[in-house]
Amino acid sequence: MPNQIIIHVDMDAFFAAVEIRDNPALRGKPLVIGALPHQRGVVATCSYEARKYGIHSAMNIKEAYRLCPEGVYMRPDMDKYKNVSKRLHDIWNAYAEKLESVAFDEAYLDVTRRAGNFAGARNIAREIKARTRDELGLSCSVGVAYSKTAAKTASEEKKPNGYFEIPTPEDFVNLVIDRDVRVLYTVGAKTAEKLYGSGIRTVRDIRDNRDIVIELLGKQGLWIAALAFGKDDRPVTPREPENAKSISREVTFQKDVDDFDLLKDILALLAIAVNRRANRVGLYGGGVTLKITYADMQGITRSRAKDGVSDARTIYQTAAELLAGVRRRPVRLIGVGIYNLTNGVTRQMTIFDYLENPGENEGGLDDVLAALGDKYHLDFAGHLDEIVQGGVLHKTIEYMRAHPAKPENRLDSGSAALTRLTD
Protein backbone atom coordinates (compact mmCIF):
# COMPACT_ATOMS: atom_id res chain seq x y z
CA MET A 1 0.00 0.00 0.00
CA PRO A 2 1.38 3.49 -0.85
CA ASN A 3 2.50 5.68 2.06
CA GLN A 4 -0.23 8.16 1.15
CA ILE A 5 -3.09 8.34 -1.30
CA ILE A 6 -4.48 11.85 -1.42
CA ILE A 7 -7.42 13.22 -3.35
CA HIS A 8 -7.62 16.92 -4.12
CA VAL A 9 -11.12 18.17 -5.00
CA ASP A 10 -11.52 21.61 -6.57
CA MET A 11 -14.92 22.92 -7.65
CA ASP A 12 -15.12 24.46 -11.12
CA ALA A 13 -15.71 28.24 -10.99
CA PHE A 14 -17.66 27.63 -7.78
CA PHE A 15 -19.52 30.90 -7.14
CA ALA A 16 -20.35 31.34 -10.82
CA ALA A 17 -21.40 27.70 -11.18
CA VAL A 18 -23.84 27.99 -8.27
CA GLU A 19 -25.43 31.09 -9.80
CA ILE A 20 -25.71 29.42 -13.22
CA ARG A 21 -27.25 26.34 -11.62
CA ASP A 22 -29.87 28.51 -9.91
CA ASN A 23 -30.50 30.66 -12.99
CA PRO A 24 -30.03 28.67 -16.22
CA ALA A 25 -30.48 31.87 -18.26
CA LEU A 26 -26.88 32.69 -17.24
CA ARG A 27 -25.51 29.57 -18.90
CA GLY A 28 -23.10 30.30 -21.74
CA LYS A 29 -22.70 33.94 -20.74
CA PRO A 30 -19.52 35.61 -19.43
CA LEU A 31 -20.50 35.79 -15.76
CA VAL A 32 -18.31 37.70 -13.29
CA ILE A 33 -18.85 37.38 -9.53
CA GLY A 34 -17.35 40.09 -7.34
CA ALA A 35 -17.63 43.84 -7.14
CA LEU A 36 -19.89 45.59 -9.63
CA PRO A 37 -18.26 47.60 -12.45
CA HIS A 38 -19.05 50.98 -10.85
CA GLN A 39 -17.66 49.86 -7.47
CA ARG A 40 -14.23 49.35 -6.02
CA GLY A 41 -13.14 45.76 -5.73
CA VAL A 42 -11.99 42.70 -7.55
CA VAL A 43 -13.24 39.59 -9.30
CA ALA A 44 -13.98 36.74 -6.86
CA THR A 45 -14.46 34.20 -9.64
CA CYS A 46 -15.91 34.04 -13.12
CA SER A 47 -17.38 31.56 -15.57
CA TYR A 48 -15.19 29.88 -18.15
CA GLU A 49 -16.84 32.01 -20.82
CA ALA A 50 -15.56 35.13 -19.02
CA ARG A 51 -12.08 33.65 -18.74
CA LYS A 52 -11.85 33.62 -22.53
CA TYR A 53 -11.69 37.42 -22.33
CA GLY A 54 -8.69 37.25 -20.01
CA ILE A 55 -10.65 37.81 -16.81
CA HIS A 56 -9.42 35.97 -13.71
CA SER A 57 -9.82 35.91 -9.93
CA ALA A 58 -8.39 38.92 -8.04
CA MET A 59 -8.42 41.11 -11.17
CA ASN A 60 -9.53 44.69 -10.60
CA ILE A 61 -13.22 44.82 -11.50
CA LYS A 62 -12.78 47.87 -13.72
CA GLU A 63 -10.15 46.04 -15.78
CA ALA A 64 -12.53 43.09 -16.07
CA TYR A 65 -15.26 45.41 -17.33
CA ARG A 66 -12.87 46.95 -19.83
CA LEU A 67 -12.08 43.48 -21.18
CA CYS A 68 -15.71 42.38 -21.27
CA PRO A 69 -18.30 45.20 -20.99
CA GLU A 70 -21.01 42.84 -22.26
CA GLY A 71 -20.50 40.44 -19.34
CA VAL A 72 -22.99 39.80 -16.53
CA TYR A 73 -21.68 41.20 -13.26
CA MET A 74 -23.06 40.02 -9.90
CA ARG A 75 -22.26 40.52 -6.23
CA PRO A 76 -21.47 37.25 -4.39
CA ASP A 77 -24.15 35.67 -2.23
CA MET A 78 -21.92 34.32 0.54
CA ASP A 79 -24.72 32.79 2.60
CA LYS A 80 -25.82 30.71 -0.39
CA TYR A 81 -22.25 29.60 -1.13
CA LYS A 82 -21.66 28.64 2.51
CA ASN A 83 -24.75 26.44 2.47
CA VAL A 84 -23.61 24.69 -0.71
CA SER A 85 -20.10 24.33 0.73
CA LYS A 86 -21.49 22.59 3.81
CA ARG A 87 -23.18 20.00 1.59
CA LEU A 88 -19.95 19.53 -0.36
CA HIS A 89 -18.04 18.92 2.86
CA ASP A 90 -20.66 16.36 3.89
CA ILE A 91 -19.93 14.46 0.67
CA TRP A 92 -16.16 14.69 1.09
CA ASN A 93 -16.26 13.64 4.74
CA ALA A 94 -18.13 10.49 3.75
CA TYR A 95 -14.93 9.23 2.08
CA ALA A 96 -12.03 10.92 3.84
CA GLU A 97 -10.15 9.48 6.80
CA LYS A 98 -8.82 13.03 7.26
CA LEU A 99 -9.99 16.14 5.44
CA GLU A 100 -8.09 19.41 5.09
CA SER A 101 -10.40 22.15 3.90
CA VAL A 102 -8.59 24.83 1.92
CA ALA A 103 -11.61 26.97 1.01
CA PHE A 104 -15.37 26.78 0.50
CA ASP A 105 -14.78 24.82 -2.68
CA GLU A 106 -11.48 22.99 -2.25
CA ALA A 107 -10.08 20.27 0.01
CA TYR A 108 -7.51 17.51 0.40
CA LEU A 109 -8.82 14.06 1.37
CA ASP A 110 -6.61 11.34 2.84
CA VAL A 111 -8.08 8.05 1.55
CA THR A 112 -4.99 5.89 2.05
CA ARG A 113 -6.55 3.08 4.08
CA ARG A 114 -10.04 3.31 2.71
CA ALA A 115 -8.88 3.14 -0.92
CA GLY A 116 -6.02 0.69 -0.38
CA ASN A 117 -4.57 1.41 -3.82
CA PHE A 118 -5.00 3.79 -6.72
CA ALA A 119 -7.76 1.72 -8.25
CA GLY A 120 -9.76 2.14 -5.05
CA ALA A 121 -8.99 5.86 -4.98
CA ARG A 122 -10.16 6.13 -8.58
CA ASN A 123 -13.51 4.66 -7.60
CA ILE A 124 -13.84 7.10 -4.70
CA ALA A 125 -13.03 10.03 -6.98
CA ARG A 126 -15.68 8.92 -9.47
CA GLU A 127 -18.26 8.64 -6.69
CA ILE A 128 -17.43 12.14 -5.44
CA LYS A 129 -17.81 13.57 -8.93
CA ALA A 130 -21.09 11.72 -9.50
CA ARG A 131 -22.60 12.78 -6.16
CA THR A 132 -21.52 16.39 -6.69
CA ARG A 133 -23.29 16.37 -10.05
CA ASP A 134 -26.40 14.45 -8.98
CA GLU A 135 -26.99 15.98 -5.53
CA LEU A 136 -25.82 19.55 -6.12
CA GLY A 137 -25.92 20.05 -9.88
CA LEU A 138 -22.27 21.13 -9.94
CA SER A 139 -19.02 19.85 -11.43
CA CYS A 140 -15.62 19.44 -9.83
CA SER A 141 -12.12 18.54 -10.89
CA VAL A 142 -10.38 15.77 -8.96
CA GLY A 143 -6.74 14.78 -8.71
CA VAL A 144 -5.44 11.57 -7.11
CA ALA A 145 -1.77 11.34 -6.17
CA TYR A 146 0.88 10.23 -3.72
CA SER A 147 1.29 13.73 -2.20
CA LYS A 148 -0.61 16.97 -1.65
CA THR A 149 1.41 18.91 -4.22
CA ALA A 150 0.93 16.21 -6.83
CA ALA A 151 -2.79 15.88 -6.05
CA LYS A 152 -3.36 19.62 -6.52
CA THR A 153 -1.35 19.58 -9.73
CA ALA A 154 -3.44 16.62 -10.93
CA SER A 155 -6.77 18.33 -10.21
CA GLU A 156 -5.69 21.33 -12.30
CA GLU A 157 -4.52 19.19 -15.21
CA LYS A 158 -7.88 18.57 -16.90
CA LYS A 159 -10.12 21.42 -15.71
CA PRO A 160 -13.05 21.83 -15.87
CA ASN A 161 -14.83 18.65 -14.78
CA GLY A 162 -11.53 16.79 -14.98
CA TYR A 163 -9.84 13.77 -13.47
CA PHE A 164 -6.12 12.96 -13.40
CA GLU A 165 -3.76 10.68 -11.49
CA ILE A 166 -0.12 11.09 -10.49
CA PRO A 167 0.80 7.83 -8.71
CA THR A 168 4.56 8.34 -8.13
CA PRO A 169 7.21 11.06 -7.75
CA GLU A 170 8.62 9.99 -11.10
CA ASP A 171 5.25 10.59 -12.74
CA PHE A 172 5.08 14.03 -11.16
CA VAL A 173 8.57 15.00 -12.32
CA ASN A 174 7.94 13.74 -15.86
CA LEU A 175 4.77 15.84 -16.00
CA VAL A 176 6.18 19.16 -14.78
CA ILE A 177 9.92 19.07 -15.52
CA ASP A 178 9.77 21.44 -18.49
CA ARG A 179 7.04 23.68 -17.12
CA ASP A 180 7.45 27.12 -15.60
CA VAL A 181 8.63 27.19 -11.97
CA ARG A 182 5.23 28.52 -10.88
CA VAL A 183 3.79 25.04 -11.33
CA LEU A 184 5.35 24.19 -7.95
CA TYR A 185 3.55 24.80 -4.67
CA THR A 186 4.59 28.09 -2.92
CA VAL A 187 6.24 29.56 -6.02
CA GLY A 188 4.30 32.78 -6.47
CA ALA A 189 4.97 35.78 -8.65
CA LYS A 190 7.65 37.35 -6.42
CA THR A 191 9.53 34.08 -5.89
CA ALA A 192 9.34 33.33 -9.62
CA GLU A 193 10.85 36.74 -10.43
CA LYS A 194 13.81 35.98 -8.15
CA LEU A 195 14.35 32.66 -9.91
CA TYR A 196 13.97 34.21 -13.36
CA GLY A 197 16.62 36.76 -12.40
CA SER A 198 19.07 33.89 -11.95
CA GLY A 199 18.12 32.29 -15.24
CA ILE A 200 15.97 29.63 -13.56
CA ARG A 201 12.69 29.36 -15.44
CA THR A 202 11.63 25.71 -15.43
CA VAL A 203 11.47 22.85 -12.96
CA ARG A 204 14.38 21.30 -14.83
CA ASP A 205 16.40 24.47 -14.17
CA ILE A 206 15.67 24.12 -10.43
CA ARG A 207 16.92 20.54 -10.47
CA ASP A 208 20.06 21.54 -12.35
CA ASN A 209 20.74 24.53 -10.07
CA ARG A 210 19.69 23.25 -6.68
CA ASP A 211 22.49 24.99 -4.74
CA ILE A 212 21.75 28.33 -6.38
CA VAL A 213 18.05 28.02 -5.55
CA ILE A 214 18.83 27.28 -1.89
CA GLU A 215 21.32 30.15 -1.68
CA LEU A 216 18.82 32.49 -3.29
CA LEU A 217 15.72 31.52 -1.27
CA GLY A 218 17.01 29.89 1.93
CA LYS A 219 14.51 27.56 3.64
CA GLN A 220 11.95 28.15 0.92
CA GLY A 221 14.62 27.20 -1.61
CA LEU A 222 15.16 23.87 0.16
CA TRP A 223 11.44 23.17 -0.05
CA ILE A 224 11.17 24.17 -3.71
CA ALA A 225 14.18 22.07 -4.62
CA ALA A 226 12.61 19.06 -2.92
CA LEU A 227 9.38 19.59 -4.85
CA ALA A 228 11.33 19.69 -8.11
CA PHE A 229 12.42 16.13 -7.33
CA GLY A 230 8.84 15.10 -6.48
CA LYS A 231 9.36 15.04 -2.70
CA ASP A 232 6.44 16.12 -0.50
CA ASP A 233 5.52 14.11 2.58
CA ARG A 234 3.16 16.63 4.17
CA PRO A 235 0.14 14.89 5.71
CA VAL A 236 -3.45 15.93 5.26
CA THR A 237 -4.06 18.08 8.35
CA PRO A 238 -7.63 18.92 9.38
CA ARG A 239 -7.98 22.65 9.91
CA GLU A 240 -9.74 23.11 13.22
CA PRO A 241 -10.97 26.53 14.41
CA GLU A 242 -8.68 26.35 17.43
CA ASN A 243 -5.67 26.23 15.09
CA ALA A 244 -6.45 29.66 13.66
CA LYS A 245 -3.85 32.35 14.30
CA SER A 246 -6.23 35.31 14.16
CA ILE A 247 -9.84 36.36 13.65
CA SER A 248 -10.57 39.59 11.80
CA ARG A 249 -13.15 41.50 9.81
CA GLU A 250 -12.49 44.33 7.38
CA VAL A 251 -14.34 46.49 4.89
CA THR A 252 -13.26 48.28 1.70
CA PHE A 253 -15.09 51.54 0.99
CA GLN A 254 -16.54 52.42 -2.39
CA LYS A 255 -15.21 55.95 -1.87
CA ASP A 256 -12.28 56.94 0.35
CA VAL A 257 -13.27 58.00 3.86
CA ASP A 258 -11.56 60.94 5.55
CA ASP A 259 -14.06 61.26 8.40
CA PHE A 260 -12.31 59.59 11.34
CA ASP A 261 -15.41 59.89 13.52
CA LEU A 262 -17.19 57.67 10.97
CA LEU A 263 -14.26 55.27 11.00
CA LYS A 264 -14.48 55.02 14.78
CA ASP A 265 -18.20 54.24 14.50
CA ILE A 266 -17.47 51.52 11.95
CA LEU A 267 -14.98 49.95 14.36
CA ALA A 268 -17.88 49.14 16.71
CA LEU A 269 -19.62 47.03 14.05
CA LEU A 270 -16.38 45.31 13.06
CA ALA A 271 -15.60 44.58 16.72
CA ILE A 272 -18.98 42.93 17.19
CA ALA A 273 -18.46 40.83 14.05
CA VAL A 274 -15.08 39.65 15.38
CA ASN A 275 -16.58 38.97 18.80
CA ARG A 276 -19.39 36.85 17.36
CA ARG A 277 -17.00 34.68 15.37
CA ALA A 278 -14.64 34.27 18.35
CA ASN A 279 -17.55 33.19 20.53
CA ARG A 280 -18.74 30.62 18.00
CA VAL A 281 -15.40 28.81 18.11
CA GLY A 282 -14.63 29.49 21.79
CA LEU A 283 -11.39 31.40 21.22
CA TYR A 284 -9.79 34.41 22.91
CA GLY A 285 -7.07 36.75 21.65
CA GLY A 286 -3.82 37.89 23.14
CA GLY A 287 -4.17 41.28 21.48
CA VAL A 288 -6.12 43.55 19.16
CA THR A 289 -5.06 44.69 15.70
CA LEU A 290 -6.14 47.63 13.58
CA LYS A 291 -5.52 47.45 9.84
CA ILE A 292 -5.74 50.46 7.52
CA THR A 293 -5.11 50.90 3.82
CA TYR A 294 -4.92 54.52 2.73
CA ALA A 295 -6.15 55.88 -0.60
CA ASP A 296 -2.64 55.66 -2.06
CA MET A 297 -2.61 51.91 -1.20
CA GLN A 298 -0.12 52.35 1.63
CA GLY A 299 -1.06 49.85 4.33
CA ILE A 300 -0.38 50.00 8.06
CA THR A 301 -1.13 47.65 10.95
CA ARG A 302 -1.21 48.64 14.60
CA SER A 303 -1.59 46.22 17.51
CA ARG A 304 -1.81 46.19 21.28
CA ALA A 305 -1.49 43.24 23.64
CA LYS A 306 -4.66 42.45 25.60
CA ASP A 307 -4.74 39.20 27.53
CA GLY A 308 -7.71 36.91 26.93
CA VAL A 309 -9.79 39.27 24.82
CA SER A 310 -12.89 38.39 22.82
CA ASP A 311 -15.52 40.79 24.19
CA ALA A 312 -16.70 43.38 21.71
CA ARG A 313 -16.27 46.37 24.00
CA THR A 314 -12.57 45.73 24.65
CA ILE A 315 -11.93 45.04 20.97
CA TYR A 316 -13.73 48.26 20.03
CA GLN A 317 -12.11 50.45 22.68
CA THR A 318 -8.62 49.17 21.90
CA ALA A 319 -9.09 49.56 18.15
CA ALA A 320 -10.45 53.08 18.65
CA GLU A 321 -7.39 54.00 20.72
CA LEU A 322 -5.14 52.63 17.99
CA LEU A 323 -7.09 54.60 15.37
CA ALA A 324 -6.55 57.81 17.34
CA GLY A 325 -2.80 57.36 16.94
CA VAL A 326 -2.59 56.93 13.17
CA ARG A 327 -2.04 59.55 10.52
CA ARG A 328 -5.26 61.17 9.31
CA ARG A 329 -5.46 60.67 5.57
CA PRO A 330 -8.23 59.34 3.28
CA VAL A 331 -8.82 55.65 4.05
CA ARG A 332 -9.68 52.96 1.52
CA LEU A 333 -9.95 49.96 3.89
CA ILE A 334 -10.25 49.43 7.62
CA GLY A 335 -10.17 46.19 9.59
CA VAL A 336 -10.17 44.93 13.17
CA GLY A 337 -8.91 41.62 14.54
CA ILE A 338 -7.63 39.63 17.49
CA TYR A 339 -4.47 37.53 17.39
CA ASN A 340 -2.45 34.95 19.38
CA LEU A 341 -5.61 32.92 19.88
CA THR A 342 -6.15 30.47 22.74
CA ASN A 343 -9.08 28.40 23.95
CA GLY A 344 -9.31 30.59 27.03
CA VAL A 345 -8.48 27.94 29.66
CA THR A 346 -6.38 30.44 31.63
CA ARG A 347 -8.44 33.48 30.70
CA GLN A 348 -9.38 35.95 33.44
CA MET A 349 -13.05 36.93 33.06
CA THR A 350 -13.84 40.64 33.12
CA ILE A 351 -16.94 42.73 33.69
CA PHE A 352 -16.88 43.62 30.00
CA ASP A 353 -17.72 40.14 28.74
CA TYR A 354 -20.09 40.38 25.81
CA LEU A 355 -20.70 36.70 25.12
CA GLU A 356 -23.93 35.64 23.42
CA ASN A 357 -26.32 38.08 25.13
CA PRO A 358 -24.84 41.58 25.13
CA GLY A 359 -27.86 43.10 26.85
CA GLU A 360 -27.44 41.04 30.01
CA ASN A 361 -24.57 43.09 31.44
CA GLU A 362 -23.34 46.66 31.44
CA GLY A 363 -20.14 45.73 29.69
CA GLY A 364 -21.76 45.12 26.29
CA LEU A 365 -21.95 47.64 23.49
CA ASP A 366 -25.60 48.49 24.11
CA ASP A 367 -24.71 52.10 24.91
CA VAL A 368 -22.51 52.40 21.84
CA LEU A 369 -25.19 50.87 19.60
CA ALA A 370 -27.81 53.18 21.04
CA ALA A 371 -25.58 56.18 20.33
CA LEU A 372 -25.02 54.98 16.78
CA GLY A 373 -28.75 54.49 16.33
CA ASP A 374 -29.41 58.09 17.39
CA LYS A 375 -26.61 59.36 15.19
CA TYR A 376 -27.48 57.53 11.96
CA HIS A 377 -31.19 56.90 12.58
CA LEU A 378 -30.73 53.16 12.14
CA ASP A 379 -31.95 50.44 14.48
CA PHE A 380 -28.57 48.76 15.01
CA ALA A 381 -29.54 46.87 18.16
CA GLY A 382 -32.74 45.51 16.63
CA HIS A 383 -31.00 44.24 13.48
CA LEU A 384 -27.60 43.29 14.93
CA ASP A 385 -27.63 39.65 13.84
CA GLU A 386 -28.48 40.61 10.27
CA ILE A 387 -25.77 43.26 10.17
CA VAL A 388 -22.79 41.40 11.62
CA GLN A 389 -23.60 37.79 10.70
CA GLY A 390 -25.40 38.19 7.40
CA GLY A 391 -24.42 39.83 4.17
CA VAL A 392 -25.46 43.39 4.98
CA LEU A 393 -22.49 44.69 6.99
CA HIS A 394 -20.95 46.29 3.92
CA LYS A 395 -24.32 47.78 2.89
CA THR A 396 -24.85 49.21 6.36
CA ILE A 397 -21.41 50.82 6.44
CA GLU A 398 -21.90 52.29 2.97
CA TYR A 399 -25.24 53.69 4.16
CA MET A 400 -23.52 55.29 7.15
CA ARG A 401 -20.88 56.76 4.86
CA ALA A 402 -23.41 58.10 2.36
CA HIS A 403 -25.79 59.56 4.99
CA PRO A 404 -23.87 61.86 7.32
CA ALA A 405 -25.54 62.20 10.68
CA LYS A 406 -27.30 65.53 10.16
CA PRO A 407 -30.97 66.31 10.80
CA GLU A 408 -31.63 67.24 7.17
CA ASN A 409 -30.54 63.73 6.13
CA ARG A 410 -33.17 62.00 8.29
CA LEU A 411 -34.92 60.37 5.33
CA ASP A 412 -36.85 57.69 7.17
CA SER A 413 -36.97 55.68 10.36
CA GLY A 414 -34.15 53.36 11.38
CA SER A 415 -36.29 50.26 10.97
CA ALA A 416 -37.32 51.21 7.44
CA ALA A 417 -33.73 51.95 6.45
CA LEU A 418 -32.45 48.63 7.80
CA THR A 419 -35.31 46.78 6.13
CA ARG A 420 -34.20 48.22 2.82
CA LEU A 421 -30.60 47.23 3.46
CA THR A 422 -31.54 43.64 4.27
CA ASP A 423 -33.75 43.15 1.21
Neighbours of 200 (CB within 10 A): 21
Closest of 235, 238, 227, 187 to residue 204, by C-alpha: 227
Closest of 414, 310, 319 to residue 363, by C-alpha: 310
Which one of the listed residues 19, 49, 100, 106 is annotated catalytic? 106
- At 299, which amino acid appears? G
- For the chain, the residue count is 423
Closest of 155, 135, 186, 133 to residue 7, by C-alpha: 155
With H, G, I as helix, E, B as strand and everything else as coil, classify residue 163.
Answer: strand
DSSP output for 288-321:
EEEEEEETTS-EEEEEEEEEEE--HHHHHHHHHH
Q: Is 70 a catalytic residue?
A: no
Where on the phi/psi map is residue 207: left (φ > 0), alpha (ψ -120 to 50), or beta?
alpha
- Confirm if 44 and 57 have CB atoms less than 8 A apart: yes
Roughly what angle, to the nearest 10 degrees, separates helices 219-228 and 210-217?
150
What are the residue numbers of the active site?
A: 106
